[in-house]
Amino acid sequence: MSEGFDLDWLDLREPQDALARSEAVAARLLALLPARPRLLDLGAGTGSLFRWLAPRIGRAQAWTLVDRDKAMLEAAFDTIADRAEQVGLKVTFPNRKAMLVHAPGGAWRVEALAADLAEAPEILPLASHDAVLSSALCDLVSAAWVERMAASLRLPFYAALCVNGRAAFAPPHPADAAVLTAFRRDQRRDKGFGGPALGPLAPAAIAAAFAAHGFSVLRGASDWRVRQRGPLPMAAPGMRTHAFLTELVLGHAQAARRQDRRGGGAIGDWTDARLNQIAMRRLGLRIGHRDLLAIPPGR
């Protein structure tokens, strides 16, 4: 069974993901889609990729959100409906399994599929969709999982926000290298997809696997870039950035301790320093990601 994520963390990272995703890679995906695209979103979480990409498609479309966590899928429906209504779009529920967001260019239909993606692609309704999408998923999966997907697909495969192992915190700290090395090692833990997770190897592994099956692969940078400056604003966006950075630092520290039990003192010093910099609005960071689009032969 694949590893899950916290709803609060997904909410905190959504604005950073939206800023980071490659517009050029997404534009190429949109050019491949038919008039009313049917999209399969793997590891959909709370639907952040839908909220980012659906307005860019603009016209009538149908999405199937796939996640093993039923509570996550329920949260996705709630969040999509809330955000749509906030911008004046009507939301209806034609049946117990589907939701319609009534946009000016045509309705956006959303359905959910609860499934353990460790068993993909065999469990996926590939024949009834026009593209397979994911966001922040493919660094969790194994090389064997990617190979099965590449061998089975004849559709565009879009993998956004795959970590590439590059990371930098500013100002520098003496323990940066040790923390980041241990963190990258932790990213390779088996996350329940039939072998060690790809972690920072994901972009290269995806490109190689799909190219071997005749796909062309488009890549674009999608780094998180955050720089705090000045007094802490009381507005919600400033507070969310503060919370995002705090969770990111604590997550790095926890993962590093898991892999480097003898380095607890240095990791603790690093954590204290970084949290203090967040409080003083002096922390900056860049976390490397890549967006990839594998395009089937002849497209």
pLDDT digits (tens, 9 = 90+) for 235-294: 555 678 999 999 999 999 999 999 987 777 999 999 999 999 999 999 999 999 999 999
State pTM to two decimals: 0.94
Given a contact cutoff of 8 angstroms between Cβ atoms, the answer to whether 135 and 13 are in contact is: no
Q: What pLDDT sits at residue 238?
A: 63
Distances (CA, A) of 186 to 165, 205, 265: 12, 18, 18
Residues whose CB falls within 8 Å of the CB of residue 146, separated by 6 or more in sequence, listed in order: 138, 198, 202, 205, 206, 209
Comparing 13 with 299, the larger pLDDT belongs to 13
Domains along the chain? 7-164+190-225+287-295 (3.40.50.150)
| Token digits of residue 82 | 């809330």
